Structure 1
Amino acid sequence: MPSQPHPSRRTVLTGAAALTAAGFVAQPLPALAKPGRQTRLTVLGTTDLHGNVLNWDYFKNVEYDDSTHNDIGLAKAATLIKAHRAKHPDQPILTLDAGDTIQGTPLAYYYARIDPITGGSVHPMANAMNLVGYDAAALGNHEFNYGLDTLRTFESQLNFPLLGANAVDAATGRPVFPPYVIKRFKVHGAPDLTVGVLGLTNPGIAIWDKANVEGRLEFPGLVEQARKYVPELKRRGCDVVVVSAHSGMDGTSSYGDALPYVENASTLVAEQVPGIDAILVGHAHKDLVAKPTNTTTGQEVLLVEPLYWGMRVAVMDLDLELERGRWKVVERSGQLLDSNTVAGDAAVLAAVQEQHDTVVSYVNSPIGTSTTALSAARAVVEDVPIIDFVQLVQADAVKAGLTGADAALPVLSIAAPFNRSASFPAGQVSVRDVAGLYIYDNTLLGVKVTGAQVKDYLEYSVRYFKQVSGTGPFTLADLTNATAPPPPGQTVGATIPDYNFDSVAGLDAPLTYDIDVSQPVGSRIVGLAYDGVPVAAGQEFAMAVNNYRQSGGGGFPHVKTAPVVYNRQNEIRQLIIDWVTAHGVIDPAQFASVAWRLVSGGQPITIS
């Protein structure tokens, strides 16, 4: 059972000893002025579990490891959570999650698509989370990836509520999930402690999962809905208000001004909505502890984000005193516990072991062969065959599905380097090799675009590169992951991730271009040609894109409003698996080309 840390890591501990090893130093409660007049509420939190229960890398078929020897999985987080409860049996404790639970691993994918929970299976994340004993969880944006039927089935399998105050019915504006839950704790010799937990999700769902929610659900801003529901919780007698928010802290939005609501709004909620004591933060995949001040009350608000995949557990301590018959927070502190110090919880591991074994067999099943090893390691700076392969599969599917006059359109295809560590080995290729190449559950669409729009699209894409002069040599870090300009009304621009660098390729003839990184953004695409002929502004193409792009994800121009000429809701990862299964052999000689290159002043650059 893959539950133990790597031998090079720290000693494995369980129970209360695990808390000390994980970096937890118990803070003494304030000296009691009078018995029953002081207590401490602790909120234990996880976020962005993304289908990870065991400490296992399904793409590599080994125990998970990374450069800093983090461990992952809810089983290990469960050990830390249960140890804290055991150490403080008489203390009020809440256990929360901040979303993105049912997508992200082959384990999650299998029970959404291969043996779907809508057919009677119980989701492994439901099994595991119920054993941990969560009090509530916020909805993440990836909860909507598999459609509302799957999400509702998952919800029905949980012993705790999924909260989403800003996931509202498109017709009525009312929340379609519980906006909050109220918990009451007995305090010896004092009135009950009443705690309200408000759940907020990400407005970007309206873009990222448009096909699943359009016309059915809308997603107002976090600040706007918190302003509505925090006063309601206060009116209902809550002494403490805790928010579980699937929204980062830094005030940025990956979708620019495509929505009127901020993507990473947790700090804004803390600063602008009076009455909140603490926020468990998710979505940004960061380790953070912060205490911004509310601009109305002058009170600090504790914000903690516990990285992702179960690598950390958040501990938020709120010390309270009884004032005029009501509990009031007088001190707040936060810290993060490391999961790589403990063994996985035996009950959680046992509950999902059979499902894990089933998925391991599935992802390791062979479906074809590759004539040579293919790697995505340099896909961020070179036109590599493994990205050409994704573009081929997508373009093939779109071309086969075009009808009428659209069938005569030349077909282009976009692809981004989602995973620099992705590779196909020489020889046998398995399902997990394909899953490692295409790690998102995107579906395929085809849109009609003009030559001018293709150039605009590429110019926007190559914002990804930092502006440099000369021909190098440069490192990858010298060139990649530039910072985008801040959206209107914001002061901080977001770093452009690898998945927002798209290259575009032709199917029946090459689409070729240079990217001149010595030039400013907007003037970098040089020599754009199709089949050796300069692309005309009015020339029409069908372009294969994923649903994330077509819905506005990343803010790329034109594709959101372009006519859709193909949409069969086929998942791209499954199309790749099906292509390899049908053809048997992946041979780069049949599809690889160098259609684009990085240059400076027209001269190729050197990248170490």
Structure 2
Amino acid sequence: MSKKYVTKSALLLSLLATASLATQVEAEENNPVSAPTTQESLATAEAQSTVEAAQTEENVEATASTLTETTETPAEEPQVLANIEQPAASQEVTEAETQEVAPVEGANVDVRILSTTDLHTNLVNYDYYQDKPSQTIGLAKTAVLIDQAKAENSNVVLVDNGDLIQGTPLGTYKAIVDPVEAGEEHPMYTALNALGFDASTLGNHEFNYGLDYLNTVLSSTNLPVVNANVLDAETKQPVFKTYEMVTKTFTDTEGRQVSLKIGITGIVPPQILNWDKANLEGKVVVEDAVKAVQAIVPVIREAGADLVIVLSHSGIGDDQYEEGEENVGYQIAGIDGVDAVVTGHSHAEFPSGDGTGFYEKYDGVDGINGKINGTPVTMAGKYGDHLGIIDLGLTYTDGKWQVTKSHGEIRKIDTKSDEANAEIITLAKESHDGTITYVRQQVGTTTAPITSYFALVKDDPSIQIVNNAQLWYVQKELAGTPEGELPLLSAAAPFKAGTRGDATAYTDIPEGPIAIKNVADLYLYDNVTAVLKITGADLREWLEMSAGQFNQIDPNSTEPQNLINTDYRTYNFDVIDGVTYTFDVTQPNKYDKDGKTVNPDASRVRDLKYNGVEVTDDQEFMVATNNYRASGTFPGVRNASINRILNLENRQVIIDYIVTEKVINPSADNNWGFANTIAGLDIRFQTADKAKDLVSGDDVEYIAASESAEGFGDYRFIYIEPATETPAETDNPEMLTPQERQEIHELVATAYAETQAKTKTMTLAQNKTTGLPKTGSKNNRILSLLGFVVIGLTGLFSKKTKQD
């Protein structure tokens, strides 16, 4: 059989297959089937995927046998930029999509830009920490909104804004337990491709597992991943593809086909050099995000882009710009040549749609129409809980497309329904099941519940257990070294304390067996343990920064006052164990939320003591923490004379600690609190409404369910004067309680008085006959014995007092 004949036969078969597929799609559109529920999908996914795999294998074998003689695979043009290799730059598109169709003067087309951000491996609607389905998260639920938005306007560009491969135990599972290998696509990128995403960018958390792992992940996907501000440290050339040009064929308002070239670029905060210093130092440098976008936009335009979209893995920030800032979405929206901006990173939401949003206090921010500096902008929350939608109206004038109208909005997923995208559920099954098996492994037992509902108002078990584990690990690491002779402290923060207005974002581990999923709930991030050497002066500044978690309280006001500063990130509220201290929150804060000095003479930290003695400025300490804190610019931390990254992830430290101890008691040691300057004041705070069932003691009082924040409750914090009795007085059976000491005092006093009276009578009688008491007489022996008893009891009492 000739090659020409085989080629024609193959072409005919392809056309027949295409016609058959078109008929099938038309039939499905005419007979829509509602999406199955999550439970139904998870139940049938394994069987369905097995059948499909068998069918696919059979079809592939048949096709291969037909075309072996005739097909030649053309060499793909590699997309290589410095260290990171990626396969084909663009997704495969049909001939109709790639064929350019010239527009006519005055043509109008409506384009819709759909976006996700900060998915953090929330692939399906499942909470791995609680080990149960959740209808508030997951790309599988966002996909329902994507389908709905496409049905309203099929002229769609679909993009993701980064922080994709880290964030849940699924991310840990695919990076550490069953890591992605060369040629294996990460399940998150598989899902984006299945949904038809056009491009993605890199978030800061893409760098958490190092450049080698990131290189493996990116080289195994054909989805374009762009970044314009990460450069090779030596060559100063871009490490990643700086932009992607996507050609899309749309339908204009007259029903005509038109082709548009859409240029897509992205940036990441320069702070990745601090946050992942161990992974990136000496390997990459990061340009200022605003300058990088300003430089790349003209290049994209020169390449023929009709539209330019910036994927800004950066928060919106504010209207004041400083080079090297973390959050610059506001400034990027004002750059000439940028038509739309997708932001993220902050896990916040924009626009509000009703003019009540946080960012609308800045000039040029339109929270109703979703614009900043006249450019449409969205920030679609986190974990797939929202979809960003930017609608652009374009008119072809004077030989180019002009944006004549625009609007931005975000849509929230349906949290009342378990509807989810069946395709995503199916393709996620293997990694999903593997993750569940992983997180259910038991590591030990806890003798008390571990919750974080009150972590911002008093010492808390969810932080205590982390500090206990870090102290246990670092003490072993420093043993036998000069640093091992110094006092060892530990710093940990509440990662789940109603983070960013989420009433479900709390740790809640019941008493009993504790599994890996619980440890992951305690420690969300894939940080690595670090140890620092600091002075007492540094320690005080570290705590002054942590004090930013609290608003300033007016001691003369009788009105309710909110204690918690909600603009301050809870992961920056470090609790440092090994010392005791209080916060005087009637004083102004020394630092703002970014660590910048705002009140240089202010001081909130009071009674900072080590072993009951005031800490001096020149006193030296070793502090266990994580690489995020050690690599940052936190006040106090930045002056560390020793800054060492250790060899174990913080989460693994906790697991090893629990496995070693077998049974843990996470009860807080109450080493910090508030100064008595807030005594008698009406101090309020919010935490999850469900926490009302956990209120115990006299320091917290439940008021009512919050009217301003869904799922939260209003609570009152009541200052209670700390007890003078320490836990050691009752916890150590070898020590005496105050009541026991008083009883001994009374016994000794009574015995001594009685003996003294008898001795005096006997001595007088003896003096009458001999003039002097006899040495070694019975009376003196009694006195001597009583003396030894008194000395012994006094010594015991003194020992107890010293220990107290």
Same fold (TM over 0.5): yes
Q: Shift of residue 293 of structure 1?
A: 6.5
Q: Shift of residue 252 of structure 1?
A: 8.1
Q: Specify whether residues 252 and 499 from structure 1 end up closer, same or farther in structure 2 by C-alpha distance, changes over 3 A only.
A: farther
Match for residue 418 of structure 1 among 492, 495, 504 = 495
Q: Shift of residue 162 of structure 1?
A: 1.2
SS at match of 1:117: coil
Q: Which has the larger share of helix? A: 2
Q: Shift of residue 330 of structure 1?
A: 1.1
One-letter identity of the residue aligned with 1:518: T
Q: Specify whether residues 514 and 342 from structure 1 end up closer, same or farther in structure 2 by C-alpha distance, changes over 3 A only.
A: closer
Q: Shift of residue 386 of structure 1?
A: 3.1
Number of the residue aligned with 1:452: 537
Which deviates further from its counterpart, 419-428 or 462-471? Answer: 462-471
Say whether residues 1:51 and 2:121 are aligned partners: yes
What are structure 1's unaligned runs of at least 5 residues? 6-32, 66-70, 483-494
Say whether residues 1:556 and 2:634 are aligned partners: yes
Q: Shift of residue 222 of structure 1?
A: 1.7
Number of the residue aligned with 2:730: none
Q: Shift of residue 588 of structure 1?
A: 4.0
Q: Is the 8 A contact 1:48 1:285 kept in 2?
A: yes
Q: Specify whether residues 242 and 386 from structure 1 end up closer, same or farther in structure 2 by C-alpha distance, changes over 3 A only.
A: closer
Return the alpha-carbon distance in structure 1 between the equivalents of residues 649 and 455 of structure 2: 22
Query: CA offsets, 1:85-126, max 9 Å, x none?
Result: 45545x3x2110111101111111111111111477542212
Q: Is the 8 A contact 2:106 2:397 kept in 1?
A: no
Query: CA offsets, 1:155-183, max 9 Å, x none?
Result: 12322111110111122322111111111
Return the alpha-carbon distance in structure 2 between the equivalents of residues 351 and 110 of structure 1: 16
Pairing of 1:17-416 with structure 2 (within 5 A): 37-65=107-135, 71-86=136-151, 88-89=153-154, 91=155, 93-118=156-181, 122-186=185-249, 192-251=259-318, 260-271=323-334, 273-289=335-351, 300-340=374-414, 343-402=419-478, 403-416=480-493
Q: Shift of residue 144 of structure 1?
A: 0.6
Q: Specify whether residues 166 and 178 from structure 1 end up closer, same or farther in structure 2 by C-alpha distance, changes over 3 A only.
A: same
Number of the residue aligned with 1:486: none
Say whether residues 1:574 and 2:646 are aligned partners: no
Q: Shift of residue 385 of structure 1?
A: 3.1
Return the alpha-carbon distance in structure 1 between the equivalents of residues 278 and 107 of structure 2: 53
Q: Shift of residue 604 of structure 1?
A: 9.1
If the length of structure 2 is used for normalisation, what is the TM-score? 0.64
Return the alpha-carbon distance in structure 1 between the equivalents of residues 539 and 555 of structure 2: 27
Query: CA offsets, 1:217-266, max 9 Å, x none?
Result: 1221221011111111111111111111111213389xx98xx4121111
Q: Is the 8 A contact 1:102 1:108 kept in 2?
A: yes
Return the alpha-carbon distance in structure 2 between the equivalents of residues 153 and 469 of structure 1: 55
Which deviates further from its counterpart, 397-406 or 598-607? Answer: 598-607
* Structure with greater contact order relative to length (CA < 8 Å, sep ≥ 6): 1
Query: CA offsets, 1:21-66, max 9 Å, x none?
Result: xxxxxxxxxxxx979812122211111101011111111112225x
Return the alpha-carbon distance in structure 1 between the equivalents of residues 283 and 319 of structure 2: 26
Return the alpha-carbon distance in structure 2 between the equivalents of residues 74 and 57 of structure 1: 13
Return the alpha-carbon distance in structure 1 between the equivalents of residues 650 and 145 of structure 2: 37
Return the alpha-carbon distance in structure 1 between the equivalents of residues 319 and 510 of structure 2: 38
Say whether residues 1:481 and 2:565 are aligned partners: yes
Number of the residue aligned with 1:520: 588
Q: Specify whether residues 75 and 441 from structure 1 end up closer, same or farther in structure 2 by C-alpha distance, changes over 3 A only.
A: same
Percentage of pairs with the same residue = 36
Match for residue 541 of structure 1 among 621, 626, 644 = 621
Number of the residue aligned with 2:500: none
What are structure 2's unaligned runs of at least 5 residues? 1-35, 41-102, 353-359, 366-371, 498-505, 590-601, 682-698, 701-715, 717-804
Number of the residue aligned with 1:27: none
Return the alpha-carbon distance in structure 1 between the equivalents of residues 460 and 385 of structure 2: 32
Q: Is the 8 A contact 1:4 1:344 kept in 2?
A: no
One-letter identity of the residue aligned with 2:294: R
Count of aligned positions: 545
Return the alpha-carbon distance in structure 2 between the equivalents of residues 207 and 568 of structure 1: 16
Return the alpha-carbon distance in structure 2 between the equivalents of residues 127 and 52 of structure 1: 13
Q: Is the 8 A contact 2:364 2:374 kept in 1?
A: yes
SS at match of 2:428: helix
One-letter identity of the residue aligned with 1:479: L
Q: Shift of residue 2 of structure 1?
A: 7.1
Return the alpha-carbon distance in structure 2 between the equivalents of residues 370 and 64 of structure 1: 25
Return the alpha-carbon distance in structure 2 between the equivalents of residues 568 and 604 of structure 1: 46
One-letter identity of the residue aligned with 1:326: K
One-letter identity of the residue aligned with 1:173: K
Q: Specify whether residues 386 and 241 from structure 1 end up closer, same or farther in structure 2 by C-alpha distance, changes over 3 A only.
A: closer
Q: Is the 8 A contact 1:165 1:177 kept in 2?
A: yes
What is the RMSD computed on CA atoms of the aligned residues? 2.8
Q: Shift of residue 566 of structure 1?
A: 4.2
Say whether residues 1:593 and 2:658 are aligned partners: no
Q: Is the 8 A contact 2:445 2:664 kept in 1?
A: yes
Query: CA offsets, 1:519-543, max 9 Å, x none?
Result: 2323221111111111121111111
Q: Specify whether residues 276 and 4 from structure 1 end up closer, same or farther in structure 2 by C-alpha distance, changes over 3 A only.
A: farther
Q: Shift of residue 324 of structure 1?
A: 2.0
Number of the residue aligned with 1:20: none
SS at match of 2:333: helix
Which deviates further from its counterpart, 403-412 or 49-58? Answer: 403-412
Q: Is the 8 A contact 1:406 1:565 kept in 2?
A: no
Return the alpha-carbon distance in structure 2 between the equivalents of residues 535 and 437 of structure 1: 30
Q: Specify whether residues 131 and 467 from structure 1 end up closer, same or farther in structure 2 by C-alpha distance, changes over 3 A only.
A: same
Q: Shift of residue 191 of structure 1?
A: 6.1
One-letter identity of the residue aligned with 1:419: K
One-letter identity of the residue aligned with 2:608: L
Q: Is the 8 A contact 1:411 1:542 kept in 2?
A: yes
Q: Specify whether residues 439 and 41 from structure 1 end up closer, same or farther in structure 2 by C-alpha distance, changes over 3 A only.
A: same
Number of the residue aligned with 2:754: none
One-letter identity of the residue aligned with 1:531: N
Q: Shift of residue 454 of structure 1?
A: 0.8
Return the alpha-carbon distance in structure 2 between the equivalents of residues 50 and 461 of structure 1: 26
SS at match of 1:601: helix
Q: Is the 8 A contact 2:495 2:570 kept in 1?
A: yes
Q: Is the 8 A contact 1:247 1:282 kept in 2?
A: yes
Q: Specify whether residues 470 and 177 from structure 1 end up closer, same or farther in structure 2 by C-alpha distance, changes over 3 A only.
A: same
SS at match of 1:48: coil
SS at match of 1:232: helix
Q: Is the 8 A contact 1:82 1:132 kept in 2?
A: no
Return the alpha-carbon distance in structure 2 between the equivalents of residues 195 and 122 of structure 1: 26
Say whether residues 1:531 and 2:611 are aligned partners: yes
Return the alpha-carbon distance in structure 1 between the equivalents of residues 384 and 39 of structure 2: 14
Return the alpha-carbon distance in structure 2 between the equivalents of residues 172 and 445 of structure 1: 30
